Amino acid sequence: MDCCAPSSIVEPAKINCPSCGEKGKSVPLITLKSLLKASFLETIEPDKPYYFCPTSSCNTVYFSGTHSQTFEEDTLKVPVFQKNSNLDIPVCYCFDWTRDRLIQAVSHNQQPIEHIKDQVQSNRCGCEVNNPQGACCLGNVTAYLRSLK
Protein backbone atom coordinates (compact mmCIF):
# COMPACT_ATOMS: atom_id res chain seq x y z
CA MET A 1 0.00 0.00 0.00
CA ASP A 2 1.28 3.48 -0.84
CA CYS A 3 1.47 5.27 2.47
CA CYS A 4 1.54 8.67 0.78
CA ALA A 5 -1.72 8.26 -1.14
CA PRO A 6 -4.27 10.79 0.13
CA SER A 7 -6.84 8.09 0.88
CA SER A 8 -4.51 6.27 3.24
CA ILE A 9 -3.63 9.24 5.45
CA VAL A 10 -4.77 8.22 8.90
CA GLU A 11 -6.77 10.94 10.65
CA PRO A 12 -6.33 11.25 14.40
CA ALA A 13 -9.08 9.39 16.28
CA LYS A 14 -9.50 12.22 18.76
CA ILE A 15 -9.23 16.00 18.49
CA ASN A 16 -10.15 18.68 21.01
CA CYS A 17 -13.51 20.38 20.55
CA PRO A 18 -13.10 24.07 19.59
CA SER A 19 -16.00 25.02 21.88
CA CYS A 20 -15.26 23.21 25.16
CA GLY A 21 -11.67 22.03 24.68
CA GLU A 22 -12.52 18.43 25.60
CA LYS A 23 -11.62 15.52 23.35
CA GLY A 24 -14.03 14.73 20.52
CA LYS A 25 -14.09 11.36 18.78
CA SER A 26 -13.92 10.86 15.03
CA VAL A 27 -17.33 10.17 13.54
CA PRO A 28 -18.12 8.49 10.19
CA LEU A 29 -19.22 10.86 7.42
CA ILE A 30 -22.34 8.73 6.90
CA THR A 31 -23.52 9.77 10.38
CA LEU A 32 -23.52 13.46 9.44
CA LYS A 33 -25.10 12.62 6.08
CA SER A 34 -27.99 10.83 7.70
CA LEU A 35 -28.57 13.08 10.74
CA LEU A 36 -27.88 16.68 9.68
CA LYS A 37 -30.80 18.77 8.44
CA ALA A 38 -30.56 19.44 4.70
CA SER A 39 -29.49 23.09 4.91
CA PHE A 40 -26.55 22.14 7.17
CA LEU A 41 -25.72 18.98 5.24
CA GLU A 42 -25.21 21.22 2.21
CA THR A 43 -22.28 22.88 3.99
CA ILE A 44 -20.20 19.82 4.92
CA GLU A 45 -16.85 19.13 3.28
CA PRO A 46 -16.89 15.37 2.63
CA ASP A 47 -13.13 15.11 2.13
CA LYS A 48 -12.48 16.37 5.67
CA PRO A 49 -12.76 14.41 8.92
CA TYR A 50 -15.45 15.29 11.44
CA TYR A 51 -15.59 14.72 15.17
CA PHE A 52 -18.31 14.28 17.80
CA CYS A 53 -18.16 16.21 21.09
CA PRO A 54 -19.75 14.17 23.95
CA THR A 55 -19.51 16.95 26.59
CA SER A 56 -23.00 17.45 28.04
CA SER A 57 -22.49 21.15 28.83
CA CYS A 58 -21.14 21.96 25.34
CA ASN A 59 -23.51 23.01 22.54
CA THR A 60 -21.29 21.69 19.76
CA VAL A 61 -22.22 18.22 18.47
CA TYR A 62 -19.91 17.93 15.44
CA PHE A 63 -16.82 19.86 14.44
CA SER A 64 -14.39 19.56 11.56
CA GLY A 65 -10.81 18.47 12.16
CA THR A 66 -9.58 21.93 11.14
CA HIS A 67 -12.07 23.62 13.51
CA SER A 68 -13.45 25.55 10.52
CA GLN A 69 -16.99 24.22 11.14
CA THR A 70 -19.15 23.38 14.14
CA PHE A 71 -22.68 21.96 14.22
CA GLU A 72 -24.91 22.46 17.26
CA GLU A 73 -27.77 20.23 18.41
CA ASP A 74 -30.44 22.14 16.47
CA THR A 75 -28.70 21.32 13.18
CA LEU A 76 -29.56 17.63 13.65
CA LYS A 77 -32.86 15.91 12.87
CA VAL A 78 -32.79 14.14 16.24
CA PRO A 79 -32.07 15.21 19.82
CA VAL A 80 -28.62 14.25 21.09
CA PHE A 81 -28.47 12.02 24.18
CA GLN A 82 -25.26 13.56 25.52
CA LYS A 83 -26.60 17.13 25.21
CA ASN A 84 -30.14 16.63 26.46
CA SER A 85 -31.17 15.19 29.82
CA ASN A 86 -34.93 14.83 29.10
CA LEU A 87 -36.48 11.44 29.86
CA ASP A 88 -37.95 11.06 26.35
CA ILE A 89 -34.51 11.19 24.67
CA PRO A 90 -33.18 7.93 23.19
CA VAL A 91 -30.19 6.27 24.82
CA CYS A 92 -30.32 3.46 22.22
CA TYR A 93 -31.36 5.12 18.95
CA CYS A 94 -31.66 1.97 16.82
CA PHE A 95 -34.26 0.30 19.02
CA ASP A 96 -35.80 3.40 20.56
CA TRP A 97 -34.84 2.87 24.17
CA THR A 98 -35.45 6.25 25.76
CA ARG A 99 -34.37 7.03 29.33
CA ASP A 100 -38.02 6.69 30.32
CA ARG A 101 -38.41 3.28 28.67
CA LEU A 102 -35.23 2.04 30.38
CA ILE A 103 -36.54 3.22 33.75
CA GLN A 104 -39.86 1.42 33.13
CA ALA A 105 -38.12 -1.79 32.05
CA VAL A 106 -35.87 -1.85 35.10
CA SER A 107 -38.82 -1.21 37.42
CA HIS A 108 -40.50 -4.27 35.88
CA ASN A 109 -37.36 -6.38 36.41
CA GLN A 110 -36.68 -6.61 32.67
CA GLN A 111 -33.18 -6.75 31.21
CA PRO A 112 -33.02 -4.06 28.52
CA ILE A 113 -29.27 -4.45 28.07
CA GLU A 114 -29.68 -8.15 27.25
CA HIS A 115 -32.47 -7.32 24.81
CA ILE A 116 -30.35 -4.68 23.04
CA LYS A 117 -27.30 -6.99 22.97
CA ASP A 118 -29.41 -9.67 21.28
CA GLN A 119 -30.42 -7.20 18.57
CA VAL A 120 -26.81 -6.05 18.10
CA GLN A 121 -25.54 -9.64 17.91
CA SER A 122 -28.21 -10.40 15.31
CA ASN A 123 -26.72 -7.57 13.22
CA ARG A 124 -29.91 -5.48 13.37
CA CYS A 125 -28.37 -2.26 14.72
CA GLY A 126 -27.49 0.73 12.55
CA CYS A 127 -25.62 2.99 14.96
CA GLU A 128 -23.72 4.79 12.19
CA VAL A 129 -26.91 6.20 10.70
CA ASN A 130 -29.15 6.41 13.79
CA ASN A 131 -26.99 7.44 16.74
CA PRO A 132 -25.50 10.97 16.61
CA GLN A 133 -22.26 9.66 18.13
CA GLY A 134 -21.95 7.36 15.10
CA ALA A 135 -21.11 4.37 17.28
CA CYS A 136 -22.76 1.70 19.39
CA CYS A 137 -24.96 2.87 22.28
CA LEU A 138 -24.27 -0.03 24.65
CA GLY A 139 -21.73 1.91 26.72
CA ASN A 140 -24.26 4.73 27.22
CA VAL A 141 -27.05 2.29 28.11
CA THR A 142 -24.83 0.49 30.62
CA ALA A 143 -23.73 3.77 32.21
CA TYR A 144 -27.29 5.07 32.37
CA LEU A 145 -28.65 1.89 33.97
CA ARG A 146 -25.84 2.01 36.51
CA SER A 147 -26.73 5.64 37.31
CA LEU A 148 -30.28 4.55 38.18
CA LYS A 149 -29.14 2.25 40.96
Interface positions with Zn ion (CB under 5 A): 17, 19-20, 53, 55, 58, 60
SS3 assignment, position 127: helix
The nearest distance, CB 68 to Zn ion, in angstroms, is 15
Computed on alpha carbons and rounded to an integer, the radius of gyration of the chain in Å comes to 17
The nearest distance, CB 74 to Zn ion, in angstroms, is 15
Indicate the residue among 60 and 131 with the shorter CB distance to Zn ion: 60
Indicate the residue among 58 and 92 with the shorter CB distance to Zn ion: 58
Distances (CA, A) of 48 to 15, 68, 71, 128, 131: 13, 10, 14, 17, 20
Please choose, from the candidates 120, 76, 81, 83, the residue with its C-alpha nearest in 3D space to the C-alpha of residue 102: 81
Structure letter (DSSP) for residue 8: G
Indicate the residue among 21 and 139 with the shorter CB distance to Zn ion: 21
The nearest distance, CB 81 to Zn ion, in angstroms, is 15
